[in-house]
Structure 1
Amino acid sequence: MIPQTAAEKLLVPGEDAGERLDRFLARALSVQVERARALVAQGRVRIRGRTCSPHRKLFGGEEVEVTRPAPRAAAAAADEPALAALFDDPDCLVVDKPAGLPVEPARPGAPSAVGAASRLGRFDVAGRALPGLAHRLDRDTSGCLLLARHDRALAALKGAFEAGRVEKSYLALVAGTPPDEGRLDTPYARDPADPRRFTGRVASARRARLRYRVRERLRGAALVEVRLETGRTHQIRVQLSEAGYPVLGDAVYGVAAPGLARQALHAWRLAFPAPSGAAVAVEAPVPADLARAVAALREEPRG
């Protein structure tokens, strides 16, 4: 559950004897060490009713009492859209992010998915009343975005991503005629010619892997389902482009498409273990602009 402003009591395990208080708190509360030290410095951490130094060595068996402040409110943006919740529980939230809305604000008070989602219940992450980001989507990618309601949930969700226990499936509208299915496994790094771009055509210890299958063949294009095995920045757009099947509407790595004002990429399905232990799977409906683009490519050209 979300930590409240009432005191939270933590029992120091015997195996943590000799550990510093600030490091124990950081681990027990799933916060940064700096955040733990700030709580101690503010007098919000007590042992046997007394405040103490963040560098205090623990003996094991103590009860540490922590009283957190109410989370700080963030600057609100007036023009943020209302987001549809695809899943919601006391630990986390999945929203359907529209294309064109950045995940994080470009400046204080600017519209963002994080800001819009903050109106959907209570959040307390790093002392702020904002959702915690377990992963990200590009500004012009629509679909499932997973958010944490509190610090422990954020740590659990990030751990699930790192352990490969989260399934991310996308729908992409691509140019060309890709094979019915395939797997791409390449190096991955910033493009030496343009650090704003990424590429799989350079030597790198980092790898990028995905699988895809064609769901529907269209006129000069295909609708493909992509399952990410790694989560690199711009990965789907880069790997499909360099394989010869660029994403339609992608102004950086892809090709222009009539009627599409953004890249034809949608985070369609997300399956993950919730911090509660529940197995969760959600799908974001295909947005209207992509549905129209697919329908247009099904039609026979008029002579």
Structure 2
Amino acid sequence: MPRSDAGERLDRFLSRALALPVERIRSLVAAGSVRIRGKTCSPHRKLFGGEAIDVARPAPVAAAASGPELVVLHDDADCLVVAKPAGLAVEPSRIGGPSVVTAASRLGAFDVDGRAVPGLPHRLDRDTTGALLLARSDRALAALRAAFEAGRVEKDYLALVAGAPPDRGRLDTPYARSPADPRRFTTRVPSARRARLSFEVAARLEGAALLRVALETGRTHQIRVQLAEAGWPVLGDPVYGVPSPVIARQALHAERLAFPRPADGARVEVRAPVPDDLARALEALGGGPR
């Protein structure tokens, strides 16, 4: 370690140096996998500077793979982008249950928090389709999360909504859990948290419109809530939207994702094809994206 880091605690230094959560470093120390001058040590040990620190990371624990085959949109040594299908949760609701995480674990090598499964820098709702970014390592996960927090990731969605929104617009609102139902979110309460998105009409349809939505923040259920409370609910959304005979789930698709590649910061841009059920809904309403 550099002498300039003298005085820092071992767990905090290794967390920063290895891009691992502090809890993961402490578990490695407790397991005897971290040694200084050949001896085990406390995670709280203050470093003198200039010590050689040996870290033996065990092989990641394999996880049972379950779920459908996923379409791969991008793949490199750091990350993977898959086309998430409707009806598949991102994380399993029970041990061994189907999910994007367990299905993607078949797609190459992963080592995240000591497990051979991908890390999640962001999420999509169960019935939202489209581009989902996964990390292959702790270091890649930390870099991607930092990119999201810094606003260096672009996320564009297609949303099929009821009504006639303006050609383009921007929503910047408070955002919080609903006082009436903590499982839901709303813009209609005072809150220091803000939710921001912009949109433009891609196609005007029979009693509906197809919007291209660019997220500026990534709040849970954000697009569904903001559009519904602005007067343009997402078709097929059973919680915030309106039922529709043309689609059996919320008509929301993560169409485009652009992000800096963890290895070198190079920009990666990925597009997910429109799924069949959304394409049929657009055709039934007399149009599609321009």
Question: How high is the TM-score relative to the length of structure 1?
Answer: 0.92
SS in 2 for 1:194: coil
Percent of aligned pairs sharing the same letter: 74
Are 2:52 and 1:45 aligned? no
2:278 to 286, 290, 300: 290
1:21-56 superposed Cα distances (whole Å, 9 cap, x missing partner): 112112212222221112112221122333222222
- For structure 2, list consecutive stretches of 5 or more residues without a partner in the other structure: none
Q: Which amino acid aligns with 1:124?
A: D
The residue aligned with 1:8 is none
Are 2:77 and 1:90 aligned? yes
2: CA distance, partners of 1:31 / 1:209: 30
1:140-197 superposed Cα distances (whole Å, 9 cap, x missing partner): 0000100100001000000000000000000000000000000000000011111111
4+ runs deviating over 4 angstroms:
none
The residue aligned with 1:104 is 91
2: CA distance, partners of 1:159 / 1:60: 28
1:115 to 76, 97, 102: 102
1: CA distance, partners of 2:272 / 2:285: 22
Per-residue deviation at 1:15? 2.4
SS in 1 for 2:280: helix
The residue aligned with 2:155 is 168
Q: How many residues align?
A: 286
Instruction: Indicate conservation of the 8 Å contact 2:65/2:106, yes or no.
Output: no
| Correspondence 1:3-14 to 2 at 5 A | 12-14=1-3
The residue aligned with 2:244 is 257
- For structure 1, list consecutive stretches of 5 or more residues without a partner in the other structure: 1-11
Per-residue deviation at 1:58? 0.7
2: CA distance, partners of 1:197 / 1:56: 45
1:280 to 256, 260, 268: 268
The residue aligned with 2:215 is 228
The residue aligned with 2:21 is 32
Question: How high is the TM-score relative to the length of structure 2?
Answer: 0.96
The residue aligned with 1:4 is none
Per-residue deviation at 1:75? 3.0
The residue aligned with 1:188 is 175
Q: Which amino acid aligns with 1:107?
A: R
2: CA distance, partners of 1:268 / 1:32: 31
Q: Which amino acid aligns with 1:68?
A: R
Q: CA RMSD in A?
A: 1.0
27-36 or 99-108, which deviates more: 27-36
Q: Which amino acid aligns with 1:228?
A: L
Per-residue deviation at 1:134? 0.2
